[in-house]
Amino acid sequence: MGKYKLLIRSAIKKQKSTLIGIFLLVFMLSLCLFSALTVYMSGTKSVREEMERLGFGNFTVWVSGQPENLSETVSALRDVDHVTEQPLIFTGYAIKGSYSDNEGQLLTLDGTVPYQFIDKDGNRLESVEIKSGEVYVSPAMRSSYDVSVGDTVTFELSRRDGIRELTVAGYFEDAFMGSSMIDMKSFLISSDDWNEMRSVIDTAAHVDVLGRSGAMLHIFQSGDSALSVQEFQKELNESSDIALYTEFSYRQESIQSYMVLLQNILAGFLIAFSVVLLMICLIVIGHNLSVVVEQEKQEMAVLKSMGMEGREIRGTYLFLYGGVVFFGLVGGLFPALLAANSLAGAMVTSTGMLIRLYFPITLILPLLMVLLGVFAVYITLRTGKILRIAPVQTMRETGGERKVKSHLRGRFLAFDIAVREIRSGRRRYAAVCLISVFLALFLSVIGKMGTWLGPNGEGLMNTFSVADHDLGVQPFNDTVPMDEIERIINWYSPVRETYELAMQNVTVNGQQYTANVLDDTKWFHVLSGEVCDENSILITDTVANELSLSVGDPVRLTSGGKTETYTVSGTYQCANGMGTNIGMSLAGYAKIGDVSGYIWCHHYILENGGVRDYAMKYLQEHYRGIDVHTNSWSGLDGIVSAMHILIALIYLIAAVFILIAVWLAANKLMQAETEKMAIYKSMGLSHLRLRISFALRFFLVVLLGTAAGIMVSEVFADSVISKIVQSFGIGEFHSGFSILGTLVPLTVLPLLFFGFAYFFSSKLKRVSIIKLISNSEE
């Protein structure tokens, strides 16, 4: 035992900085991976528990104009266990004078729904009594509307004496509409205000009324029901009149997906990045072990000549490096919890919920074991060379150098020396090159997504909207002067193209979807097949998967009691509602629905799209009875800022990783080359040129690695990202050339490596030429 102690103590002394560096790398890997996993697992669990606590059923259906006995009718169905009804008011609103382009839903505490409240600092409040004149909103509105306590929210219930102003008193957690991914927002108000507002709607004249009364029906499937989720939904729609009154409906799973979508994207990327970090850790450990074994060859040979076995020497390295990895992984666990807490706190304005963090021990412990196993096997493999060291080891002074030919020019001496060093000692730089390949690949993919998303989320706007447009105006009654509105829009910018869109609820083979109806079908983004006509429809990839449909298949569509059969003419791109929608022509929809009502939204494509926000604001402020929107939605800002935070975070982690990796690699190189550096100095090469040449080696190797990583990304990134984003209803992803995905990694990575290598090479200043003499007798 004593000999091991002695060996380990001596190795720790000799390799202190290497071991510290590896500890830091593994610590960061652990921090990144386990914090992402904690957020991911806690978020999903938290939303599920909150939905259960708030009484969301297997299905939640938002209805308006429903008969009083609708709940009873649905409850009576064979596969339904029970239905709870939560009354609400749909109404337009404005915050701090800015009109929302979507309706909000007004809820009140009726004693059965135990909402959770959050104060302005993000702390949970035990209980809150909502006073008259107060309103509680989702914290997600802080990111989408910059709402803070004390702001005014104006609700438009009726044109005549129907405007109500309430003051924001705090925030509450809404397990569905709380997320910034959801356009419609909930407002929690006192029961006095709610009743008063409801009476405004009920008593207002038909031409004046702007708000609508409705309800959320939480439908619970009975325990002995054998129906699948789709079959259950079909059963509801076909066996009751619920579809006639449905505004929209969501399965519990869909609601969960919406709520945790943003944080899952963030956690997903961090987990993927952790895999890259794991690869880097393995590369760095492998490289260091190779160098150490090479450097310690003679000592190991002496140990063997003294009777120590190769496997015993290897065991000490496994114990030492394995120990460092163990402490790094375990050391990262507790800070991971703190980091997860910060991440969850930072996400509250996007998710609208303060996630209750729990430590997913059942996932993390086995994962920890697996990671330790991977590292142990890897260390064992990389130290195999120790077994082959002969007891009498002779090494040539210059062994390991390869003969290569490259220029040596006076003017570019630092560069030429760097090239020579790289070419003659390729294996020494393989690790740095591989690290840069992995980092470049990942950063390029992230960059491509960032570019596709665009500075204002244009990428998402286009994939989520039915068809391209700058402005959309939907009149709700015949008093709206559309001619005048169009003149105003033209004043802001000439209108290049215009078409009309209606979004109507239909059931397709019994499943409820939104039908996007266009008067001009050329605007659909068709991905495969043909554009639809009066006898056919377009479906998204999501619908195709859900209903197992292909181009050419017949489908049965129902709306308002009428049913028709159509053919699937093709697939199209529209991620709205996570892709749960279909595309129809006006003539096609006219077969089952009423096309004469105020269902049409006039879409305008402007010559100068930059003025759309000004035009929208003007129209919202000066006209009532219309819905004006741009090709955007309130949650987009949240996604864009989350993506930007993610990119910044990943670059930051990458920079720290590069710093440590360069520190380790540069130290090892300088250790091995002290004599060479002293020779150059003795010939009169200044330490500044030596440092530049040293840093240039990293720059050149990383440039090569980064270029390779980016090339791999160019070939595979689009198809990989397409697969990822398909789960969000986005059918296609094309990035093309991107500054963030190509030029930024190509410049930032080599420069970071160069900068850090230059920084760490300051040691060269202290390399003394006397080193060359120390080998002589004196």
Establish if 421 lies at the interface with another protein (CB under 8 A): yes
Name residues contacting another protein, limited to 740-769 (CB under 8 A): 768-769
Name residues contacting another protein, limited to 487-516 (CB under 8 A): none
Based on the shown chain and the rule CB under 8 A, indicate whether residue 413 belongs to the binding site for another protein.
yes
Tell whether residue 679 is a contact of another protein (CB under 8 A). yes
Phi-psi domain of 263 (left: phi exceeds 0; alpha: psi -120 through 50; beta: other): alpha
Q: According to CB under 8 A, which one of 223, 397, 455, 548 is a site residue for another protein? A: 397
* Sign, Cα dihedral of 640, 721, 47, 37: negative
Best CA proximity match to 534, nearest among 509, 514, 517, 511: 517
Nearest distance from residue 389's CB to another protein, in Å?
20
Q: Which of residues 23-42 bind another protein (CB under 8 A)?
A: none
Cβ proximity of 520 and 499 under 8 Å? yes
In the DSSP assignment, the letter for residue 743 is: I
Q: Does 111 bind another protein (CB under 8 A)?
A: no
x/- mask, another protein, residues 340-379, rule CB under 8 A, reads ----------------------------------------
- CB of residue 409 to another protein, shortest distance in Å: 6
Which uninterrupted H or E stretch holds 724?
Answer: helix 687-726
Binding mask 209-248 for another protein (x = CB under 8 A): ----------------------------------------
Residue 398 interacting with another protein (CB under 8 A): yes
The strand pairing partners of 98, in sequence order, are 95
Least distance in angstroms from the C-beta of 408 to another protein: 6
**Shortest approach of another protein to residue 682 CB, angstroms?**
5
Angstrom distance (rounded) from CA 446 to CA 440: 10
- Please identify which residue in 420, 591, 624, 763 interacts with another protein, judged by CB under 8 A: 420
Count of Cβ atoms closer than 10 Å to residue 192 Cβ: 13
**Residue number with CB closer to another protein (112 or 775):** 775
The residue from 39, 575, 678, 703 that contacts another protein (CB under 8 A) is 678
Nearer to another protein, 2 or 684 (CB): 684
Q: Which of 2, 111, 150, 399 binds another protein (CB under 8 A)?
A: 399
Q: How far is the CB of 396 from another protein (least distance, A)?
A: 5
Among 534, 675, 714, 732, binds another protein (CB under 8 A): 675
Q: CB-based burial of residue 402 (10 Å sphere; 0-12 exposed, 13-18 middle, 19+ buried)? A: exposed
Closest distance between another protein and the C-beta of residue 669, in Å?
13
DSSP β-bridge partners for residue 369: none
Measured between alpha carbons, how far is 412 from 308 in angstroms, rounded to an integer?
50
Side chain identity, residue 177: M
For the chain, the residue count is 778
CB of 462 to another protein, least distance (A): 55
Choice between 185 and 687, CB closer to another protein: 687
Given the complex with another protein, which of 388 and 411 has the nearer CB atom?
411
Output the CA–CA distances (angstroms, integers) from residue 727 to 354, 419, 501, 733, in the order listed: 25, 46, 26, 12
Smaller CB separation from another protein, 228 or 775: 775
| 206 touches another protein (CB under 8 A) | no
Stretch that binds another protein, among 273-281, 294-302, 400-408, 695-703 (CB under 8 A): 400-408
Closest separation between CB of residue 758 and another protein, Å?
17
Choose between 469 and 691: whose C-beta lies nearer to another protein.
691
d(CA 727, CA 275): 21
Cα separation, 728 vs 748, whole angstroms: 31
Q: Cβ 769 to another protein, closest distance in Å?
A: 4
Shorter beta-carbon distance to another protein: residue 483 or 778: 778
* 54: enclosing H helix or E strand: helix 16-54
Using CB under 8 A as the binding rule, whether residue 395 contacts another protein is answered as: no
User: Which of 387, 408, 656, 739 is the binder for another protein (CB under 8 A)?
Assistant: 408
In the bound complex, what is the minimum distance in angstroms from residue 414's beta carbon to another protein? 11
The answer to whether 439 touches 749, Cβ cutoff 8 Å, is yes
Shortest CB 378 distance to another protein, Å: 30
Options 404, 652, 656, 751; binder of another protein; rule CB under 8 A: 404
Binder among 410, 483, 596, 715 for another protein (CB under 8 A): 410
Confirm or reject binding of residue 390 to another protein (CB under 8 A). Answer: no
Query: String of b and e for 443-473 (b: at least 16 CB within 10 Å)?
Result: bbbbbbbbbbbeeebebbbbbbbbbebbbbb
Per-residue tokens: 102: 């979507």
Query: Is residue 79 within 8 Å of 87, Cβ to Cβ?
Result: no
Mark the segment that binds another protein (CB under 8 A) among 311-319, 354-362, 392-400, 438-446.
Answer: 392-400
Q: In the complex with another protein, which residue's Cβ is closer, 52 or 401?
A: 401
536: buried, middle or exposed (CB in 10 Å: 19+, 13-18, 0-12)? buried
**Judged by CB under 8 A, which of 161, 253, 401, 594 binds another protein?**
401
Rule CB under 8 A: is residue 76 a binding residue for another protein?
no
- Convert 611-648 into a string of H (helix), E (strand) and C (coil): HHHHHHHHHHHHCCCEEEEECCCCCHHHHHHHHHHHHH
Cα 261 to Cα 464: distance, rounded to the nearest angstrom: 15
Give the interface segment with another protein, choosing from 27-35, 45-53, 407-415, 519-527 (CB under 8 A). 407-415
Phi, psi at residue 646, to the nearest 5°?
-60, -45
CB atoms within 10 A of CB 477: 15
Among 226, 396, 455, 719, binds another protein (CB under 8 A): 396
Binding-site member from 438, 600, 680, 756 for another protein (CB under 8 A): 680
Determine the straight-line distance between the first and last CA of the chain, rounded to whole angstroms. Answer: 39
Integer Cα distance of 38 and 336 in angstroms: 8
Cβ atoms of 543 and 579 within 8 Å: the answer is yes
Residue 737, classified by CB atoms within 10 Å of its CB into exposed (0-12), middle (13-18) or buried (19+), is exposed
CA-to-CA separations, 153 to 132, 134, 525, 757, in angstroms, rounded: 14, 9, 37, 56
Write down the number of H helices and E strands in the chain. 22, 22
**Closest by CA position to 88, among listed 181, 208, 184:** 184
CA distance 611 to 81: 52
Position among 402, 483, 596, 719 found at the interface with another protein (CB under 8 A)? 402
Binding-site member from 428, 448, 668, 681 for another protein (CB under 8 A): 681
Q: Which of residues 425-444 bind another protein (CB under 8 A)?
A: 425
Judged by CB under 8 A, the stretch of 59-67, 430-438, 661-669, 679-687 that binds another protein is: 679-687
Tokens of 478: 């015949």
Which residue number, 132 or 686, has a Cβ lying nearer to another protein? 686
The 3-class secondary structure across 407-469, one letter per residue, is: CCCCCCHHHHHHHHHHHHCHHHHHHHHHHHHHHHHHHHHHHHHHHHHCCCCHHHHHHHCCCCC
Of 421 and 519, the one with the shorter C-beta distance to another protein is 421
Number of residues that bind another protein (CB under 8 A): 37
CB of 425 to another protein, least distance (A): 7
Least Å distance, CB 764 to another protein, is: 12
Residue with smaller CB distance to another protein, 715 or 770 = 770
Q: What residue ranges bind another protein (CB under 8 A)?
A: 396-399, 401-404, 408-410, 413, 420-421, 424-425, 675-676, 678-687, 768-770, 772-773, 775-778
